[in-house]
Each structure stands twice: as structure tokens, then as C-alpha cells.
Amino acid sequence: MTKNEIADVLTEIATLLELKGENPFKVRAYQTGARALEAIEEAELGRLIAEEKLGTVKGFGEALVQKITELHTTGKLEFFEKLRTSIEPGLVDLLQIPGLGPKKIQVLKAKLGVTDIAALTAACLDGRVAALDGFGEKTQEKLLAGIKNREAYGKRHLWWDAAEIAEPIVAGLRALPQVRRAEAAGSLRRGMETVGDLDFLVSATEIAPVVAWFVAMPGVKEVTAQGETKASVRFESGLQADLRIVPDEQFVFALHHFTGSKDHNVQMRQRALARGLSLSEWGLVPAEGEGTAKEKAENRKSEKVKDESGLFAALGLHFIPPELREGLGEIEAAERAELPRLVELGDLRGAFHNHTTASDGRNTLAEMAAAAEALGWDYLGIADHSKSSFQAKGLDEARLAKQVAEIRALNASQKFKTHVFAGSEVDILADGRLDYDDATLASLDYVVASVHNVLTQDEATMTARLIRAIEHPRTTMLGHATGRLLLRREASRVDLAKVIDAAIAHGVIIELNASPWRLDLDWRLWRKSAGRGLLCAINPDAHEIDGLRHVRAGINTARKGGLQREQVLTTWPLVRVRAWLAARGAQPPA
Ligand code: DGT
Ligand code: CA
Ligand code: CA
Ligand code: ZN
């Protein structure tokens, strides 16, 4: 580990110890240690450790010397790992709220059981915080305001929400007579699950009218910057948007630069340099000679490069889709022509995890089927909640049997071109058993097995629970595997590598839950698993007809995860899906 990484660990240890109410001197020792470490040079640290002289540095006691040495040489620290798992992750988030220090957080936890921001919000809203000794009405109000602010300004935004704001802006920019090309770049274009800010890029014949239009858009709450070729605004939601305007001959280079990611850009520049070229947001020019990159680009415009494909080709690369530009080996793959052919929205033919008014959905079976038909889907799976999810009106055996009969009748009536599969989103009980008996499960076309309660089990228990569900012969797919809610709730503690191994071994699908606040499994895990035979189903988890559209967010994540059409069951035609389900259903019970 580098010294800065070690310093970060020490700082985090101090915070965690503070949250645990540890001795303040001990806390201070870690804080001081982190600062002392920052002041040392990297090479110096290596030398001090090699010569066992770390203890001579002011600020490093015996305990710190041992821990820094362990981190530096092994990259790990057992003490830290243990400490981290002993504290609810939500408590650390609470520290970001103005007015809340470790002491107050401990009181909130002890008296009200508050361990995350959602629980604190609830406790403030029903007045329980004001009633605590040392808090009061004023503090409660201040905390609520702090939470609201954090939501509005401090945090990132769901890809879906950002895209809904960005799309009309791109259309509006393109409609301006002065605009030649306009694109939304940045993390939005890369399909990241959350977006920090929007980055619009425009080439135009005249700049002023474009800037004037941008800062006067509906929904703009504040103009945070306005210059000659750029402007920044903030919307009601707190989302910021940057606009940059460039001459048309620079557009491709600027688009590539502002799409990022930063790591991808750095690697592309290094690649250019290795070829005697200098790549920048202004152009691609020979690296030798006097002058800045900007001056050179203006003198020697990279005229042959008309679009991003041309830019990649100029560096001996196949086109890299924006979703893959994370600096994680995509350039090497593009050089060897080994990039996957990514799944596309138009490849989808249906989805399996959808709810109706029978449980907590807002549209009826017939409405959902009609909406799926309107999308051109060949099939729609209905998977309402099972009986243990009583808060979501989960179906008992009798209601489930009635729904299955309705679905069979609907298919027989041929009212819709879309075939409806009768399934269920069956709760995985705390011990890994499923919520219906085998006979009931056998009456279904498929089973989505999901965790909805007791989310806070330790890692080993949760992992065993999911694997037991995967091993059940009636389980077709695992639903929202980690239970995370982006920007709201952390993933459960679970060893996903083991879960994925079990799914592959048992031929069980893991869903890519396309709900914009889930996107679970994460794209980083799909990158690791796609080539290993793990089958994916992109499921919108729709609770109303409009929710079916969320598959688009799922496609984003699938593409980022490097998934190809073949690896996604929901791109398969109906006959093939039916045959696959039938083959699984024929498996004898264990
Ligand atoms: P975000 O907004 O946090 O979701 O992430 P991005 O990727 O949209 O980042 P942003 O908005 O700060 O910048 C947009 C792109 O501009 C970024 O993906 C790559 C490029 N960029 C920004 N800063 C740097 C930098 O320091 N070096 C390089 N090479 N590129 C940068
Ligand atoms: Ca951005
Ligand atoms: Ca930005
Ligand atoms: Zn669910």
C-alpha cells in the first residue's frame, strides 16, 4: 500500500473508533499518525520500514509502527477489517450530517436504534429525536435540514434521473440553428449507475446564443458559472450541468475527452505518446516540437478524424463503446479486436420479474400484458410476492393458484400477442428455505428467489442463505442479489464470488435487476462473471406499466458489464426460453 492509502486507513480507523466511543487519546493517536505519514515521502517510508526505524518518527507509537508496517508490506490489516465489520456502515454516513458527531450518534443508536440516515429521518419526522435529552426541537429541525441538503447537493444522482434531465437538453441544443453537433458526455454517456454532474458538449457557429439558451432553460435554479465558451447551471434537484462549446473540428476530441473516464483518457494519451502523438481535448498531433498542445492542434488540425471511430483507428484501435471506457483493459482488448459485441436494447424480447395489483404492483395482469405487447415483447413474466412479504400483499397458495389460472386463461384467449409466464418472486426465508412448498412451486413456470427481510445477517449466514436458495431445484433465478438501493441502502454483506460460483454450478440465472435504484448485480461483477457461463436475465422489477421501460437502465449496466446478447436469457426467442425452462423444470427434486 502507498503511504496515502495507509494514511486513509488510519483516518478511517480513528473515525470508526470514535463511533464506537473509544478512548479519545487512542482516536487522536491515529489521526496524528495519519498526518505524520502524509508528511513523509514515499521512498522515505519504504526505507524507514526496511531499517525498522519507523518508531523514530514523531507521532508513531508502537501500535502504529506495527500497523503501518503490516499495511505497507501486506496491503491488509486484520485489526481494521475486524473493526470495520463490527460497525454498521450506515453509522459512518451519519457523520456527514452537520450537527452530528460520534457522541450524538451513539446516543441515537442506543436510545432510538438509529443506524443509518433513513432511520434518522424517520425518527426526526415523528419527533423522537426532539424528545431525547440533549437534542430538542431545534436540533431535530437542523438535522432534517442537513439530511435534505445532503440529498439535494451533496450526493450523486441516479443514472435514470440524470438521463431524463439530459435528453431534452440534448434535443433542445440540437434544435438551435447555431448548433452543429451536441452530445451528453461524462459518466452519463458511460452508463455509470450514478452520475455526479452532466457534461454537455456542443460545436456551434456562434457561441453566445447557445450559452444564453442553456442558462435560461426551464428548471435551472442557479447559474453557477458563465464564461466565453462554457457555462454551468444547477437544477432544482441539485444536479449540476456543465456546457462546453468548441469549434466543430475539435468536437470529436472534446467528446472523447469529456466522456472519459479519466483513467481511460490517461491510458489513451500514453498510447498516443508511444506512437509519437499527443492526444488532448483539442486534437491529435505529432508530439515533438515547440508549443502547447492547443497551439499545435490549431496549426495542424487532425483533419482525418471525423468521428470517434476515426480517433480510435488513428491509434490502431477498434471503436470502444463509451460504457467500456473505464481504463480496465478495454484499450488492450480493442487492440486485439477482442471487445465483446455488447447487448442492445433492441435485443430484448421480454422480462421475468414484474408485479401486478395482486401484490404491490399498480397495474393489473391484463394492463401489464398489454404494455408488454406495446413494447413488442414476445413474453412477460409475472412474479408477484409470496406470502411472507405480507407488507407487499404477498400471495398465499390459494391466491397464487387463482393467479396462475388467470394467466393460463389469458394465454388461451390469445388476447395479446405477448405470452405470459406464470411465476412468483418467492421470498428466501432467513435460513435459505423458499416461502412455498415444492408442490406449489412446481405449479409455476419459473421462480425468482429474492431476499426481502432480515437483510442484516453476517456475511457467512447471508451467503449460505443465498446458496441454499440457489440449490433448490425449483429456483430459476436469483432476484436483486445484494438488496442494495443506490444512494439509499448499502448492499447486504454477502460473498458474491461464492454465490456466483453456486449459480453457475446449478445453472441458476442471476437477474440483473434493472430498477434504476438497484442495478443489482453491479456491472463490475458482470465483467468478472460473464465469460464464466453465468446466465443473466434483465428484469425491470416493474410495479406499474411505466416501470417496464427501466430495462433500458438494465441494458446500460449489462453493456458496462461486457455482456453479449447470448448471455442474456431475456434476449432469447420464446421457443428457446420455453425449452430452457422446461428442461429445468424436468430436473428431479434433490
Ligand atoms: P461524474 O461527473 O463524477 O459522474 O464523473 P465524470 O466521469 O462525468 O467526471 P467529470 O464530470 O468530472 O469529468 C468529465 C470527464 O472529463 C471525465 O470523465 C474525464 C474528463 N476529465 C475530467 N478531469 C480530468 C482530468 O483531470 N484528467 C483527464 N485526463 N480527464 C479528465
Ligand atoms: Ca460528469
Ligand atoms: Ca463535469
Ligand atoms: Zn423484490
CATH number at residue 52: 1.10.150.110
Query: How do strand 240-246 and strand 194-195 relate by DSSP bridges?
Result: unpaired
State if residue 261 touches ligand 1 by the CB under 6 angstroms criterion. Answer: yes
CATH of the domain at 398: 3.20.20.140
588 assigned to some structural domain: no
Residue pair 22/9 in contact (Cβ under 8 Å)? The answer is: no
Cα–chain-centroid distance for residue 34?
A: 30
Q: Domain span at residue 267?
A: 251-335
Grid coordinates standing for 57? 518518527
Q: Which of 200, 216, 246 is the last residue of a domain?
A: 246
Does 12 have pLDDT greater than 80?
yes
Question: What pLDDT is recorded for position 488?
Answer: 81
The letter for the amino acid at 239 is L
What does the pLDDT look like over 75-105, one tens digit per residue?
A: 999 999 999 999 988 898 898 787 788 889 9
Does 296 have pLDDT greater than 70?
no
590 assigned to some structural domain: no
Q: How far is the CA of 424 from the centre of ligand 2 (A)?
A: 39
Peptide bond into 273 cis (omega under 30): no
| Residues sharing a CB contact under 8 Å with residue 423, sequence separation 6 or more, in sequence order | 352, 381, 382, 383, 444, 445, 446, 447, 448, 476
**Residues 312 and 438 both lie in one domain:** no
**Residues 65 and 25 both lie in one domain:** yes
Residue pair 410/365 in contact (Cβ under 8 Å)? The answer is: yes
Query: For atom 1 of ligand 1, which residue has the closest CA?
Result: 196
Grid coordinates standing for 305? 478524424
* Confidence band, pLDDT 50/70/90 cuts, at residue 585: confident
**Residues 255 and 186 both lie in one domain:** no
Residue pair 212/243 in contact (Cβ under 8 Å)? The answer is: no
Question: What pLDDT is recorded for position 572?
Answer: 98
Q: E strands, 347-503, where? A: 350-351, 379-385, 419-427, 446-450, 477-478
In 10 A of CB 469, how many CB atoms?
27
Query: For atom 21 of ligand 1, which residue has the closest CA?
Result: 262
d(CA 407, CA 545) in angstroms, rounded, equals: 17
Does 463 have pLDDT greater than 60?
yes
Domain count, the chain: 4
Question: What pLDDT is recorded for position 589?
Answer: 42
Grid coordinates standing for 535? 446466465
Picking from 457, 505, 447, the residue whose alpha carbon sits closest to that of residue 477 is 447
Percent of the chain with pLDDT over 70: 96
Residue pair 478/511 in contact (Cβ under 8 Å)? The answer is: yes
State if residue 195 touches ligand 1 by the CB under 6 angstroms criterion. Answer: yes
**Residues 80 and 224 both lie in one domain:** no
Residue pair 317/443 in contact (Cβ under 8 Å)? The answer is: no
Can you give the length of the chain in residues?
A: 590
Question: What pLDDT is recorded for position 590?
Answer: 40
Does 495 have pLDDT greater than 60?
yes
Q: Which of 153, 180, 202 is the last residue of a domain?
A: 153
Grid coordinates standing for 136? 430538542
**Residues 350 and 468 both lie in one domain:** yes
What does the pLDDT look like over 156-192, one tens digit per residue?
A: 999 999 999 999 999 999 999 999 999 999 999 999 9
Query: For atom 5 of ligand 1, which residue has the closest CA?
Result: 187
340 assigned to some structural domain: no
Q: How far is the CA of 382 from the centre of ligand 3 (A)?
A: 40
Grid coordinates standing for 116? 443509518
**Residues 81 and 189 both lie in one domain:** no
Question: What pLDDT is recorded for position 289?
Answer: 65
Choose the weakest-confidence range: 37-46, 49-58, 203-212, 326-335: 37-46
CA of 157, nearest ligand number: 1
Please indicate whether residue 575 or residue 142 has the higher confidence score (pLDDT).
575
